[in-house]
A and B are shown apart, each in its own frame.
Chain A
Amino acid sequence: MSSTPVVSVRDLRVYYGTPRGTVRAVDRVSLDIGEGEVLGLVGESGCGKSTLGRGILGLLPDGAVSDGEVLYGGRNLVGMGAKDLRRLRGPDLGLIFQEPMTRLNPLMRIEDHFRETLEQHESGLSDREIRTRSLETLGRMGIPPTRFRQYPHEFSGGMRQRIMIALALVLRPKLLVADEPTTSLDVIVEAQILGILSDLRRSFGTALLLITHNLGIVAEACDRVAVMYAGKIAEEGDARDVFGDPAHPYTRELLRSTISLETDELHSIPGAPPNLIDPPRACRFHPRCPSVMVVCADRDPIEQRIDDGRRVLCWLHGPEERIPEGGTEPLEREEIAVADEA
């Protein structure tokens, strides 16, 4: 793909403490996002993808600890001072959230939201400049100038999400993280928003990290996809390749569970999503994996690169020299107990 990635994530860990123990939400994740690229990040609820998205921007709740590297523009965002991080949010990095209904201040007009953002990062702009730039971005989102002075509650959910996107893009960031942006919207609106998002490279030159649990929209809108499970990346590569010929058993299972018009039988992955406080030993997916081998319950899998530039975290793809004698034998295990508390 492109030469220098916009963002390079290396060995990122994000843990936070709860009364029941430490949650390993993101456990050594590495990713590259290229310029103008759309990278999809999929996984079940609670796999840590939201935390990863926010971790990249440094927008984590109190008490979360992070470690590793998030390289942007030659600097490591992990451990960067709050002030410097804040300056990057807006002009360089953007984040849009799942629930557009509550993400705008009900007492402020749309105009005020834009003015605040623009003035925060570029002081000394004239009113006219603010207006022009805001309206231009809003216009690309399909919001007419006549509604610039309205309040958030006068807009529908879909329109509020477009306003949020415009607000995030008005300063032309290099990377936009979208955390489940269409989950709370109906299907038709979802398609419109997706259309906007997948087009960001052309219209704004912005790279997009699209976080979702919906495989369908990833297949439609993304160049590459990373599949996340229990805080780790299970598989990552070109979207067509990953979906056409999944390398990781989890990806395969996810695709089989997707419902389409051809579905005549419902398939689900047995067991429950893992507990991030006390995840399964070795390979995190091994209790639920249909192709599990002896080594999977014994040693942590090592990331491999396979032919088409994909990365997989699975013993099925070797490296063979690291698997002990008899490790490739299928693992006997009891029937997976019905949904133990995750």
Chain B
Amino acid sequence: MAGSKGTSLRQYALTRLALVLPMIFILLTLVFLLMRVAPGDPITASLGGHVPPAVVNQIKEQLGYDRPIYDQYGSYLSDIAHGDFGTTITDRRPIGDIIVQNGMATVELTFYAMIVAIVVGVTFGLLAGRYRDTWIDGGSRLFGILIYATPVFFLGLMAQLFFGSYLGWLPTSDRASPLVEATLETHTHIYTIDTLWNGDWDAFVDVVKHLILPAVTLGLVTAGVFIRLVRVNVIRTMKDDYIEAARARGIDERSVVYHHAFRNALVPVITVVGLTVALLLSGAVLTETTFNWPGIGKTLIVYLQNRDYAAVQGIIVVFALVVVVASLIIDFVNAYIDPRIRY
């Protein structure tokens, strides 16, 4: 069954894409229904007490909440298909803008956190699996467990107390100092990129300093998951038959461990990287609240507190789509690495 790498990967991609559509559909529907579970309508719920009833009705009409439910569902779906995620009720911002600005803040945070998580997690996981049942293994696992048990907001709090108040080395909130924040020319809304783009070295350093505590905190907490997973996979892989066969051919232990065991063990880890995106999103919500990072998580919490259903709906829809797309990408990467999956 010979097939060139290219075509089979393409076929796989198409099949996978086709399967994803029903999932997205269900998620969107679920979100829509959930938002309308509450009695009454969203507008009254959020603006009810603060704004005269006549205005409330007006807004209701404008935003279409007085139409029959099927109608709303229809335009909801078509809007999303066109990339329109709606407008918030409380401050009338287009959700698309919110996604871009605050979303990028979260992307920046989770990206660096993921790097920390992978580096720390995979390293300790590989060590623990290779040196199973020695103190290295025990130490790494204990570290992984403790790290996982530490709520990210607690770690963040302690970090703030220690590095911020006590030592005074690092800033404990916001993305950048007020001056930098005010003068930054944004292109991508990712500050580390933008500052470099503008060639502003001082601003870059400032932004990095603000990133360190939140990213490392979030990354460390997520690393715990990787340690456990990588370790189990290394142990499982070292028992595989082809490992023994390689040894029978006189391959030295080092090569066996690195080229066979570790490489094969990491394949399922790629999947977990995708799942970790979901983890990171929820972690981001907490981290952003702790460090006052203006990301999409914190924004969601604020709108939740204000009972702005439209905003919540729009943001959650974006979350859902992001998670689905991430898992899709992971599947593709998996198929690329492991040729057995393509069939």
Contact = CB atoms under 8 A, between A and B. Distances in A.
Do A and B share a direct contact in the complex (Cβ within 8 angstroms)?
Answer: yes
Interface of A: 57, 59, 86-91, 94-95, 97, 99, 102-107, 116-117, 120-121, 146-147, 150-151, 153-154, 164, 167-168
8 contacts: A89-B248, A97-B248, A103-B245, A104-B245, A105-B242, A106-B340, A107-B264, A116-B255
Interface residues of B, number: 24
B250 interface: yes
A90 to B, nearest CB: 4
Contacts of B1: 154
Given A86-B250, A89-B250, A107-B267, A102 B339 contact: no
Interface in B226-265: 240-242, 244-252, 255, 259-260, 263-264
A91 B267 CA distance: 32
A88 B242 contact: no
B122 to A, nearest CB: 17
A97 B241 contact: yes
Nearest to A109: B339
A90 B249 CA distance: 5
Q: Which of B264, B267, B339 has the largest number of chain A CB atoms within 10 A?
A: B339
A151 B339 CA distance: 8
B337 interface: yes
Given A97-B244, A116-B251, A153-B340, 14 more contacts: A87-B250, A89-B247, A89-B249, A91-B250, A97-B248, A102-B241, A103-B242, A103-B245, A105-B242, A121-B250, A151-B339, A151-B340, A153-B339, A154-B1
A258 B250 CA distance: 38
Nearest to A82: B253
A167 B250 CA distance: 12
B2 interface: yes
A120 B252 contact: yes
Nearest to A104: B242
Contacts of A116: 246, 249, 251, 255, 259
Interface string B92-109: 000000000000000000
Nearest to B343: A153
A57 B248 contact: yes
Interface in B92-142: none
A186 to B, nearest CB: 19
Given A102-B240, A117-B251, A150-B2, A97 B338 contact: no
